[in-house]
Structure 1
Amino acid sequence: MLVREVMSQPPVTVNDTATIKTAIMLFERHDVSAMPVIDAAGHLTGVISEADVIREMVMPDQRVHEKPVHLSALPLHTVVADVMSTHPITVPSEAELATAAELMTTTAVKSLPVLHRHRLVGVISRRDIIRVLARTDERIEADIDELFRQTGYDWLVEVREGVAVIDGPVVESEQGLAQTLASSVPGIVAIRFATSRSQGPPWPSTPRSSPH
């Protein structure tokens, strides 16, 4: 799957001159944990996260301090540009979804701005990927069946736990085509062929309970 097929669009963005309070309201309204930051021309200039605003805006509670804590009249930083990350990690819209997933897991960021020809076109988040992986086996199987039908093949497919077992294609070229088609379906996690004996059991093994 490609990033552009899964990303949220249009992206929820905030202007770099907006107040931090404005960013907080956008987080709440759209239920997102991070947003791309754009300038007046619409160019990506950074990313602001919930952590950025929490660090700046949560005041100490005087009730738990023996001595009063000095508070300035205003927060030190008041606009988005003051607290945003200025070197956002991005991903191209035509990148594989696996690439975006690896970026998010290796960098610990929860979402990535998606660019097409240097233009912001969407956001891909961990939640977007989970939504894809949560699709039912029945829906995945039906989508693969439809793709095979549209391409003129009467191959059979059964899906369990996101793993597709395809029966029909024998020669390598046909298996390559079947794999290309099936791998484009949201929610698929692995592909096996019923005619191949070298891939092990067709379904994920289920742990058995230990005897008492």
Structure 2
Amino acid sequence: MLIRDLMTTPVTTVTPVTLISAALQLMDDAKITALPVVDRRDALVGIVSEADLVEDENLIGDRVPATVLKIPGPTPPRRVADVMTHLVVSVGPHEDLEAAIDLMRQTMVKSLPVVEHNRVVGIISRSDVIHLLAGRDRRVQTEVADLLHAESPDWEVQVQDGIVTITGPADPHERHLAEVLTGTVRGVIGVQINRLSSRVMDGQPSTGT
């Protein structure tokens, strides 16, 4: 699977001059935890997370240190440029999803902007990946079973972490066809084929011997 297959697009972005209060509202409205920061050409110049914004809001709220309160004159509105991360880790839409997952593990970032031709075209988050992995095995099992049962009702299908184990007829042609069909399902990482016991195929329970 490629990153473009999972990324959120169009992506909600802000600019360096966006007010922090406006950025917080955008996050709340879109139910997201990070916003890519772009310039006038939609080029990526930074990223701001909910933690960045909340920490800043705390500084200008009731918990402002007394030394800060003593500064004369009105407090200017805080902007995204004041709190954003400038060195951003990003990925391309045509990269493999596994590369994005590895990058999240290595850098501990929760969101990765997706950039193509120097423009932000999407974003992928850790929650996107978790949601995908949680539902992938169930979806793969259903799709593989539907395909194989259209050929023979004797096939049994199990899926774990994208590895599909199919158990069924011993006929080499049927086994090859089952392997090919299984491999066409999106999300399948590997295929293992087991031979179904002849006693099970005759309607008798297998004893495991």
TM-score of the alignment, normalized to the shorter chain, above 0.5: yes
Q: Which runs of 5+ in 2 are unaligned?
A: 196-209
Greater radius of gyration (CA): 2
Q: Deviations over 1:57-108 (max 9, x none)?
A: 2146469x9xx55424326x72212221112100111111111111111111
Using the alignment, how far apart are the partners of 2:112 and 2:166 within structure 1?
34
- How far off is 1:2 after superposition? 1.2
Structure 2 residue matching 1:25: 3-state secondary structure: helix
Give the structure 1 partner of residue 184 of structure 2.
Answer: 181
Count of residues in Structure 1 that have an aligned counterpart in Structure 2: 185
Which residue number corresponds to residue 190 of structure 2?
191
Residue 159 of structure 1 pairs with residue 158 of structure 2? yes
Counterpart AA for 1:98: E
CA positional deviation for 1:145: 5.2
Do residues 21 (structure 1) and 21 (structure 2) align?
A: yes
Residues 175 and 7 of structure 1, relative CA distance in 2, 3 Å threshold: same
Distance of aligned partners of 1:52 and 1:175 in 2 relative to their CA distance in 1, 3 Å threshold? same
CA pair 31-177 structure 1, distance change in 2 beyond 3 A: same
| 1:115, distance to aligned residue in structure 2 (A) | 1.8
1:201 aligns with: none
Aligned residue for 1:91, secondary structure, equals coil
Name whichever structure is richer in helix by fraction. Answer: 2
Q: What percentage of residue pairs aligned between the two structures are identical?
A: 30
Contact 1:141–1:157 (CA under 8 A) maintained in structure 2 = no
In the superposition, the TM-score normalised over structure 2's length comes to 0.71
Could you tell me how far apart the structure 2 residues matched to 1:45 and 1:147 are? 46
Instruction: Note if contact 1:7-1:124 (Cα within 8 Å) is conserved in structure 2.
Output: yes
1:48-59 equivalence runs, <5 A: 48-59=48-59
Task: Return the alpha-carbon distance in structure 2 between the equivalents of residues 31 and 43 of structure 1.
Answer: 23
Question: Quick one: distance in 1 between partners of 2:98 and 2:63?
Answer: 47
Aligned-residue RMSD, C-alpha: 3.5
Q: Does structure 2 retain, via aligned residues, the 8 Å contact 1:62–1:69?
A: no
CA 148–19 in structure 1, closer or farther in 2 if over 3 Å, else same: farther
